[in-house]
Each structure stands twice: as C-alpha cells, then as structure tokens.
C-alpha cells in the first residue's frame, strides 16, 4: 500500500507540527510501525522542520510577525502602539504619584506572557534501576511545574540501551509510561530511529514501541537541535 494514498503531505506536515488530534496521531503511529517508507518520509519532514526552525530562530522578537499583517493593519498597529505609549506614559506619571500599584497584577502578567519551560531528558542507559530513577526525575519535574502553575514541555528521548524503556513487551515500566502520558499532556516519549534500525539489523527483532511514543531520526541529532532551540538538557 502506498503512503501517498494513505496520508496527504498536508496531513503529515500537520502531524510533524503536532496539530493533529489524538486519534489522528494514533492512526499515523499505527502506520509508522509498519511502513518503512512512511517512517523515512516523516523523518525527512521533521529534519526539514527543525532546519527551518533553526534558520528562523533569530530574532526571537516580536512573537507575532509584522509581515503577516496587511499594510492597513500595520498602520493600525503602529497607531495603537503609539497610543499605548502615550497612555502608558500618562498613566505611569499618575501612578507614580499615587500609592504603589498592586504587585500581583504585574506578576500574573509576566507569568502568562512567558514561554513554557522546555526540558529534554536523555535516557541512554537500559538498567531497570536507572530507568526507574529517570521516570522518578521526570515525574518530579512535571509535578513541580504543575504545583507552580507553570507550563512545561518535556521530551524524554531514549536511544541506545535506554530505548528498552519504550519497547512493547520489553519495557519494565510500560504501564507507568502510559500513566504518565495520560497524566501530563506536556510530556512526550520519543524513540531514536537509528537505534531501532540497529536493533532490527543486529538482533533481527521487529521493534514494537509502546503506544503514543514518537519516533525521531536520531536521538543525538534531536538533543543537539533542542539545545539550539533553547531547551534545557538533562541526562538521567
């Protein structure tokens, strides 16, 4: 069965961009496990997306590109910004003379405007105790951000012996991984395609991943890309 018939390029792009619903994603994962060509296609797309992101990473401001707005909107925005400056200046002058403004409002405004914290956990050791420690650390961090009401995006990238964490029928913590995926929407488990290929060639085993696990071309490349994108990196 050819890939092109199954998913359109647009659909796969949406998949790579993480814009699909859970059901649609599961549909793709199901096919990824069986279809080598599709796997390669998705890897290529991911690579391209990362390159595009890298190329356009600087400058980080403004968050909403002016380019996408029409000329009229630009002028409107300019006018609005100018007005805001004047209003802000005047308000600042009066506030300056009145008692101190409530600090709570300021704190809320900054925490809402901030990007989510992004953290990549790298798991490359397959010892069950290490895997358990790694999951403990990931869960501890997720709980910390939940308590602090901070948004967090966390990726657990498994490669080498660490991939055993994500292998169906092999992982000692399949159930815990499932629970954590369900509990924390900002958490993703990611498997390295290079390692999968190596296992399939060397052991002759058909690798089956736990449900909901994503595949990236190379764990090492992913670590490099994510750090260039400003993610924190922790090896556990």
Q: Which of 151, 141, 156, 211 is nearest to 182 (CA)?
A: 211
Q: Are 220 and 193 in contact (CB under 8 A)?
A: no
Q: Residue 59 interacts with another protein (CB under 8 A)? A: yes
Q: Residue 224 interacts with another protein (CB under 8 A)? A: no
Diameter of the chain measured on Cα atoms = 76
Query: Going residue by residue from 115 to 134, which x/- string records binding to another protein, judged by CB under 8 A?
Result: --x-x-------------x-
Query: Going residue by residue from 186 to 215, which x/- string records binding to another protein, judged by CB under 8 A?
Result: ------------------------------
Query: What count of Cα atoms within 13 Å lies in the side-chain half-sphere of residue 76?
Result: 5
| 28 token code pair | 């793709």
Instruction: Output the smallest distance, CB 152 to another protein, in A.
Output: 9
Instruction: State the Cα–Cα distance between residues 38 and 16, nearest whole angstrom.
Output: 12
Instruction: State the Cα–Cα distance between residues 234 and 236, nearest whole angstrom.
Output: 6
Among 37, 69, 85, 87, binds another protein (CB under 8 A): 85
SS3 195: helix
Query: Going residue by residue from 86 to 105, which x/- string records binding to another protein, judged by CB under 8 A?
Result: --------------------
Name the residues that contact another protein, by CB under 8 A: 59, 61-62, 74-75, 77-79, 81-83, 85, 117, 119, 133, 137, 140-141, 144, 232-236
């Amino acid at each position: 069965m050819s890939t092109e018939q199954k998913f359109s390029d647009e659909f796969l792009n949406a998949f790579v961009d993480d814009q699909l619903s859970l059901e649609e994603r599961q549909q793709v994962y199901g096919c990824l496990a069986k279809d080598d060509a599709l796997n390669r296609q998705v890897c290529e797309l991911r690579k391209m997306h990362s390159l595009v992101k890298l190329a356009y990473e600087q400058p980080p401001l403004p968050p909403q590109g002016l380019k996408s707005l029409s000329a009229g909107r630009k002028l409107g925005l300019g006018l609005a910004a100018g007005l805001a400056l004047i209003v802000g200046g005047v308000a600042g002058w009066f506030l300056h003379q009145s008692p101190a403004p409530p600090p709570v409002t300021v704190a809320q405004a900054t925490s809402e405007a901030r990007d989510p914290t992004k953290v990549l956990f790298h798991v490359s050791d397959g010892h069950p105790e290490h895997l358990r420690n790694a999951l403990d650390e990931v869960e501890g961090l997720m709980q910390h951000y939940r308590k602090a009401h901070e948004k967090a995006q966390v990726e657990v990238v498994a490669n080498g012996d660490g991939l055993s964490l994500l292998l169906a029928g092999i992982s000692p913590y399949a159930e815990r991984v499932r629970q954590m995926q369900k509990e924390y929407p900002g958490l993703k488990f990611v498997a390295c395609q290079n390692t999968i290929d190596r296992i399939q060639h060397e052991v002759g085993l058909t690798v089956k991943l736990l449900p909901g696990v994503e595949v990236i071309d190379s764990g090492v490349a992913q670590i490099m890309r994510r750090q260039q994108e400003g993610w924190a990196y922790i090896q556990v």
